[in-house]
Amino acid sequence: MQNVLLAISGPSGVGKGTLVKLLMEEDENLALSVSCTTRAPREGEVDGREYFFISKQEFLSRISEDDFLEYDEHFGNYYGTPRSFVERRLKEKSVVLEIDVVGALNAKRLMPQTVLVMIVPPDMEELEDRLCGRGSESACERSERLRRVRYELAQQDKYDYVVVNDDLQTAKKRLQEIIQTERNKG
């Protein structure tokens, strides 16, 4: 069995965070890559758990030190995957990157073994409901995020797997099957 590097993408509000949390709880051989971001923490988010919350100045200095496997800018903030963390953890466990489509495709270019999984909503109405239900963005930020959804969903054919997050437990089981299949390839 091999350790796999899995990039899980999908539109904001589709349920990535919820699914990844369930996967982590049930599989001790899975580690979540904690990204760095320059955005402010949302209520309940803890530094070093959801993200490492760093200043723009520190982010730019780490870019110049080639410290990110990939990075991107979303909604005026930087987000990046720390290279050293991923390489170190992959020696012990399978690693999940929870990143956007552009970031995932960039990661695959640098680490071709990356398995790309896209989570998609059952329909657009449900996605909008979930995003509004989370209540962490203003109406303006939400509409910006929804505009991006169509672009992200259009990248599905570049992905190794597409998982519909309709029923949460069914989507979680499908992700567990995918991880098992990829581990067995080694």
38 interacts with ligand 5GP by CB under 6 A: no
Please report, for residues 25, 114, 120, 160, 166, the alpha-carbon distance to residue 177 in angstroms, rounded to integers and kept in the order given: 16, 16, 17, 13, 17
Three-state SS at 113:
coil
Distance, CA of 89 to CA of 119 (rounded, Å): 24
**Tokens standing for residue 15:** 């349920």
- Binding flag, residue 100, ligand 5GP (CB under 6 A): yes
Sites of contact with ligand ADP (CB under 6 A): 10, 12-18, 130, 133-134, 165, 168
Instruction: List the single partner that 103 binds among ligand ADP, ligand 5GP, none, CB under 5 to 8 Å by kind.
Output: ligand 5GP
Judged by beta carbon, residue 155 or residue 183, the one nearer ligand 5GP is 155
Q: Please identify which residue in 27, 52, 67, 72 interacts with ligand 5GP, judged by CB under 6 A.
A: 72
For residue 39, state whether it binds ligand 5GP (rule: CB under 6 A).
Answer: yes
Pair 97, 81: CB distance under 8 Å: yes
Closest CB to ligand 5GP among residues 17, 183 = 17
